[in-house]
Amino acid sequence: MTAGLLTPRVLRSLLPALSLAVLLVAIFYLQPRAMSYFGINLLLNLAVPIALATLAQMFILTVNDLDLSIGSFVSFVACIAATWLSEMPLLGILALLGCILVYALLGALIYLRDLPSIVVTLGMSFVWLGLSVLLLPTPGGTAPGWLQALMKLKTPLVPFCVIAAIVIGLVVHLGLMRSAHGAVLRGAGGNPKAVARAGWSLLRIKVTMFALAGCFGVLAGLALVGLTTSADANIALRYTLLSIAGVILGGGEFVGGRVSPIGAVIGAMTLTLAGSFLSFLRLSPDWQIGAQGAILILVLALRMLINRAEARR
């Protein structure tokens, strides 16, 4: 009877959630006190900005590009938020809107000149880092009060970070996976020629996806600085690789517009927990990034086994 329910297809879509659940259960087993409102909040706080950055990366991957600058972009947004946004709110808001505009223009540039996105975004990572250094030469600044208040919101029963992650995942899921427009956007990654022949502007699609990535990058930076209260030019550099890993962990693929927003959020949470898991095992923090790599390989191996089972049918 279960054989009918547990088809490889179902298994594959459940895999990200299952790996997160296994990790959570393992942590709760090692440290039962983590299974509380406070404990979960502490464990998953930083997952919110990482999840937002992962979704930004997912939008870019949907149209078969790759963003190697998202980490330095999130850092730059954090720097703006910790300086201009709290001192001169209007200038801060304009600067953030300008950032999104730059992302949209990058999308247009990459499409029109048919440039390799890897190299363009590598170049942009220098630009964002340089701008952050100019704005905030030494770590510091203060996040605006409202941002700190929002990120430290005490919601009843379920911690804010969990609610935020669920809401973010669902909103993007509805927009990208369930709407007609979302299908076109994803189609541009799957078969650009067909989408173009059907009368859609590939330029507009590319610009939309890059602008969305810019938006989510801005949100990630704001969420991050709301938690840390001060910023630093290098604060989020590791988000670049984490966001790619998160998308893939959540079931996304590099080509063909095959992505999963909910999976990406779960992937980001899994990677965030991987570090804490080690400290509960009392292993040296030296292995923290190693654990993230190991989990990535493990989940991908499981997915491959499921795919193989599917092919055998």
Partner 1 sequence: MAAEPAWQRLLAQPWLWSYLAAASVWAATIAFTQGQGGGQVLTAAFTFAAFFVIVGIGQMFVVTLGPGNVDLSIPATMTLAGTLAMRIMDGHEALILPGLALALGCGVVIGAINYGLIRALRIPPIIATLSSSFLIQSTAIWYNRGIRIKPPPALAEFATAQVAGVPVLAVGVILLTVLMHVLLTRTRYGRAVLAIGQNQRAAGLAGIPVDRIRLGTYMLCATLAGLCGYVQAGFAGGAALNMGEEYLLASIAVVVIGGTSVAGGNANVPGLWGAALFLFLLVTMLNTFGLGAGIRLVMTGIIIIAVIIAASGRQRAR
CA distance 15 to 12: 5
Q: Which of 17, 109, 183, 184 binds partner 1 (CB under 8 A)?
A: 109
| Paired residues of 296 in beta bridges | none
Q: Is 89 in the site for partner 1 (CB under 8 A)?
A: no
The reply to whether 115 sits near partner 1 by the rule CB under 8 A is yes
Residue 129 interacts with partner 1 (CB under 8 A): yes or no: yes
**Binding range to partner 1, per CB under 8 A, among 84-92, 169-177, 190-198, 286-294:** 286-294
Which H, E and C letters describe 149-216, residue by residue? HHHCCCCCCCCHHHHHHHHHHHHHHHHHHHCHHHHHHHHHHHCHHHHHHCCCCHHHHHHHHHHHHHHH
State whether the Cα torsion 139-96-179-307 is positive or negative.
negative
Does 311 participate in binding partner 1 (rule CB under 8 A)? Answer: no
Q: What is the SS3 assignment for 231?
A: strand
According to DSSP, residue 63 is labeled: T
# residues near partner 1 by CB under 8 A:
47
Q: In terms of Cα–Cα distance, which of 119, 132, 89, 162 is closest to 236?
A: 132
CA distance 66 to 242: 13
CB of 120 to partner 1, least distance (A): 6
Comparing CB distances to partner 1, the nearer of 81 and 223 is 81
Q: State which of residues 34, 133, 177, 202 lies at the interface with partner 1 (CB under 8 A).
A: 133
Task: Write down the least CB distance from residue 303 to partner 1, Å.
Answer: 8
Number of H helices, E strands in the chain: 16, 0
Find tokens 């170049």 and name the residue: 123
Contact with partner 1 (CB under 8 A) among 40, 44, 51, 120: 120
Q: Is 98 in the site for partner 1 (CB under 8 A)?
A: no
CB closer to partner 1 out of 65 and 147? 65
Window contacting partner 1 (CB under 8 A); options: 2-10, 52-60, 94-102, 129-137:
129-137
Q: Which residues bind partner 1 (CB under 8 A)?
A: 66, 109, 113-116, 118-120, 122-135, 137, 241, 244-245, 248, 253-255, 284, 286-294, 296-297, 300-301, 304, 307
